[in-house]
């Protein structure tokens, strides 16, 4: 498996609509937070949702996991970090939500997505070449930029 180091993060302030009557963020909203960081992660390699569709693939989530560590409250600033964990046969993205002020971990989780052809809705058992091309281009650009910063 080729190693590609890909990470994105989003910092948001939770809103009142995200909370339950006790002022704690409703558990289902954590997946929305994951989604925002995952969107940024994929846009980083120029393979956002519109690009996926244009390339002829959908990427439905087939597995999602969340581990709540400490309650998040409304009007709290949080940082959501998404890291690409696997990509050759499926997309597995790991997430970590932290409090940016204290650095404390609030939540962690992951999602798994698989490629499905848009034209016939058939599951693909390996990632399409377009994803590999995007990741390798990003990796090459990152290496080139890194070399420039170290000169």
Widest pairwise Cα distance in the chain: 55
**Per the structure block, which two tokens stand in for 105?**
């971990």
Query: What residues does 149 pair with on adjacent strands?
Result: none
Residues 126 and 87: their CA atoms lie apart, in Å, by 9
Q: 18, 20, 46, 63: which is the annotated catalytic residue? A: 20
Other Cβ atoms closer than 10 A to 12: 16
Catalytic-residue membership of 20: yes
**Per the structure block, which two tokens stand in for 6?**
């890909």
**3-state class (DSSP) for residue 122:** coil
Q: Which residues are catalytic?
A: 20
């Amino acid at each position: 498996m080729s190693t590609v180091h890909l990470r994105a993060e989003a910092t948001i302030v939770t809103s009142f609509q995200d909370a339950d009557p006790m002022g704690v963020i409703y558990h289902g909203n954590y997946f929305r937070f994951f989604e925002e960081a995952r969107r940024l992660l994929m846009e980083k390699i120029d393979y956002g949702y519109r690009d996926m569709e244009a390339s002829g693939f959908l990427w439905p989530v087939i597995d999602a996991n969340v581990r709540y560590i400490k309650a998040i409250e409304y009007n709290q600033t949080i940082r959501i970090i998404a890291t690409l964990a696997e990509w050759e046969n499926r997309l597995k993205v790991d997430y970590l939500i932290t409090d940016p002020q204290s650095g404390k971990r609030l939540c962690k989780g992951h999602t798994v997505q698989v490629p499905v052809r848009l034209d016939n809705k058939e599951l693909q058992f390996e990632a399409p070449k377009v994803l590999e091309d995007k990741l390798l281009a990003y990796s090459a650009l990152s290496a080139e930029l890194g070399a420039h910063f170290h000169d």
